[in-house]
Amino acid sequence: MKGYIEERAIKTAEYIIETKATVRQTARKFGVSKSTVHKARINPSLASEARKVLDINKQERHIRGGLATKEKYLHEHNLHTSKNI
pLDDT at 85: 56
**What is the distance between the terminal CA atoms of the chain, rounded to a whole angstrom?**
60
Q: Residue 40's CB: how many other CB atoms inside 10 A? A: 20
* pTM value > 0.85: no
26-78 pLDDT per residue, tens: 999 999 888 887 776 677 788 888 888 888 888 877 777 777 788 888 887 77
